[in-house]
Chains A and B, each alone.
Chain A
């Protein structure tokens, strides 16, 4: 595999200054402003003291003015929990512009943003062996480790994506980013599972030019990269037209599923430039305004 995280990647990375829109309610203290009121320096509101409130937070100036006990409310800053799921089946390691490279770069960029925002990041690899989880990463100092982990990713075999994904315990609300080519019959189950686990889901759908617009001719034997299955057919304009029709239907179906489950759908072509991948695609998940 080519050098995934090259100097161009890093130079583009430093231009990424965006935070990911996410509704958080729980999690460790972090750099993300939670909807929950809590302990922080950023004032939010007042309310009357109730039994059990920390009396250290009583605003004595207000008591002097209104003769009532008021408690200062502060915006609690929480960590966002980001689970990145990468499909590491062999089908991802394909294309002149390799899908695996594109996927890893996207995940690297995601990780960078997540860690920059002081959120917690988990890398999850959906492989033939099942789910391979990393420990949690937090803080920008963890970014090199993330990169190192991503660089060590191997693609191979025929992964049962849903089976692997369903092993992930998602106890807290967070954001799950699934990066895959979507070649599974259980994609809907996967997306639904994530939604059931109270996740904001982003599906980064990575495909190569060869898959989007194949250019076969004559009689060919197509060999599946995952399981070496073969399919013999005589290519012609009509066959390619039929393929494109199936491809369109495949994309439309995923788009429909994503809309149905309120999932952010990001189709990516592996031949897209880094700019395109990072800004046009990731901007869909960035905080508006």
Chain B
């Protein structure tokens, strides 16, 4: 017999406590006798009656100690090995994807049941077996490598967190395949609720899938009309039974509307909430339902408006710049080589005008401007040019992180830097490029044709273009929308302002370390608010993280696919006979005996 847990042995300390309590409890009852004459005689003849001997035949005490020992034994979860596991090396892969959060037995989730089973498996291994533990969902994480400490391995298993990530044990299996070459004999046990291809891997799947009743909120979207905001929500009943429940629409923490829906088994339904009068930015739709998977009963949406930038690019042909602009998100580019039609284009009121080698007679009155290979305009002037020079960055926000950039230019204008601008490209002391704010408009000037320079060949080129566009941009801090947990969300703060701050669903704030950041701390469901304090205002945007729909319903059930693919699927680990229930029954029996003994006293 082996024990699954040893910590309950700490309760053995209660045995002396019980004995002491019994000794203290023995309060004598006064009983008169005619004379102690005979009792004294008896006492002298009898053996010494020490306190310990008093306890010798105290059946209640003995029964209580036995009961305590049995209860401790039950807590230790003793088990018998039916056979035993023979491999010298085992790999345990635990699926920690969102679907493993589905209830399995009572209030125990599939992951909790899987971990319990995995711990049983580890405890049942023969001593010296090398254990490797991998948690798998979207990616595989190696948690414990080639160790033989079963206690530590059990702790590692018990600390595997439930994630909201999509995925299954497949990445874990891929990792096993890549590691297998270093082992001669290995048994892989995969604890999952989704069929996983174990081709080429010796071992089996422990299946934690059970058909459950689950309804999910798959999607929440919004729109505006003259009556206010309308919210659309899509619900799916993944179970087989008809379900009727309330669908609650929340604006932030406030309940805005309730609708009652009835969904037949397998049905999906769209629910509309109309005429919503809500001036906040985050809404959520939640089901009043206690089903097997609670996490997918709520879905969030954000009402922030995505800001995009319209750009007019006047150029004969500048694929380099055009391609480089493609990396800037939220930019709609209109390209033209017909400067004569500029007046017509201008009517569209573009946010940014890029003039490459051509410039209209009259500059636009609104919008930011980028000039390339232009000698003079009403804003600046060039009276000379250079040929065959080496250009290097000047200290400027546009050249942040580009300090090492140098490139050759065959011909370039040299400018007299205006007062409102700062140089960002120079050749020796000559100003080749400058940027600044003129009359509230961002103006950036670069004195050469890209085709006459090495700049497009430099790896820093896209960054420089990005910075140039971004300095003139009015795009959102983040791409507003709904993401699944674990997604890296790109946050684009403005340079030269305070660092963007992300407020997590739980209210914690995270100040980013960079203006542009791929925010990956998105494991929590809910609304993420992104803000940046600029000199003029606080720019606020946000996104939401929702339960991955694919995890709401498992389609690749291990037991069903097993027959086709031939993988061995079990519902429990080999060789374990759990004695806990038996011992609890024994404890109850002893409690009954103790009760009878107590009554008969």
Contacts and interface: CB of A to CB of B under 8 A. Distances in A.
Interface of A: 90-92, 94-95, 99, 181, 183-184, 208, 210-211, 214, 216-226, 229-234, 236-239, 242-243, 245-247, 249-250
B35 A181 contact: yes
Contacts of A210: 33-34
Nearest to B27: A219
A219 B29 CA distance: 7
B38 A250 contact: yes
A234 B49 contact: yes
Interface stretch (B39-47, B298-306, B446-454, B578-586): B39-47
B31 A221 contact: yes
Contacts of B26: 218-219, 234
Contact of B33 (A224, A239, A245, A246): A224
Contacts of B39: 222, 231, 233, 243, 246
B24 to A, nearest CB: 11
Interface in B47-101: 49, 54, 57
A234 B35 CA distance: 18
A95 B34 CA distance: 8
Given A219-B54, A234-B49, A242-B46, A211 B30 contact: no
B29 A183 contact: no
**What is the interface of chain A mostly: helix, strand, loop, or mixed?**
mixed
B32 interface: yes
Interface residues of B, number: 24
**What is the interface of chain B mostly: helix, strand, loop, or mixed?**
mixed
B36 interface: yes
A231 B33 CA distance: 10
Contacts of A208: 34
Nearest to B54: A234
Contacts of A90: 34
A86 to B, nearest CB: 15
Interface string B183-220: 00000000000000000000000000000000000000
28 contacts: A94-B32, A181-B35, A208-B34, A210-B34, A217-B601, A218-B26, A218-B601, A219-B28, A219-B29, A220-B30, A221-B29, A222-B31, A222-B33, A224-B36, A230-B30, A234-B26, A234-B49, A234-B54, A237-B57, A239-B42, A239-B46, A239-B49, A242-B42, A242-B45, A243-B38, A245-B45, A246-B38, A246-B39
B598 interface: no
B7 interface: no
A183 B41 contact: no
A208 B46 CA distance: 23
A245 B45 CA distance: 10
B35 A224 contact: yes
B63 to A, nearest CB: 15
Nearest to B49: A233
A220 B36 CA distance: 13
B441 to A, nearest CB: 100
B401 interface: no
B36 A181 contact: no
A253 to B, nearest CB: 10
A243 B42 contact: yes
Given A218-B601, A234-B54, A238-B57, A246 B45 contact: yes
Nearest to A246: B42
Given A211-B38, A233-B49, A247-B38, A223 B57 contact: no
B494 to A, nearest CB: 85
A231 B54 contact: no
Contacts of B29: 218-221
Given A216-B31, A221-B28, 18 more contacts: A90-B34, A99-B34, A210-B33, A214-B33, A219-B27, A219-B28, A219-B29, A219-B54, A229-B36, A231-B39, A231-B40, A231-B43, A233-B49, A234-B26, A234-B54, A243-B42, A249-B41, A250-B41
Contacts of A224: 33, 35-36
Contacts of A232: 28
A226 B35 contact: yes
B40 to A, nearest CB: 7
A91 B32 CA distance: 10
Nearest to B57: A236
A92 B601 CA distance: 31
Nearest to A244: B42
B22 to A, nearest CB: 10
Contacts of A225: 32-35
Most B Cβ at <10 Å: residue of A181, A211, A221, A222: A222
A236 B47 CA distance: 14
B37 to A, nearest CB: 4
A214 B39 CA distance: 11
Contacts of A231: 36, 39-40, 43
Contacts of B37: 91, 183-184
A219 B28 CA distance: 5
A143 B334 CA distance: 147
Contact of A94 (B28, B34, B45): B34
Nearest to B26: A219
A222 B42 contact: no
Contacts of A242: 42, 45-46
Given A231-B43, A242-B45, A250-B41, A223 B32 contact: yes
Given A233-B49, A234-B49, A91 B43 contact: no
A226 B33 CA distance: 9
A154 to B, nearest CB: 16
Nearest to A181: B34
B175 to A, nearest CB: 67
Contacts of B46: 239, 242
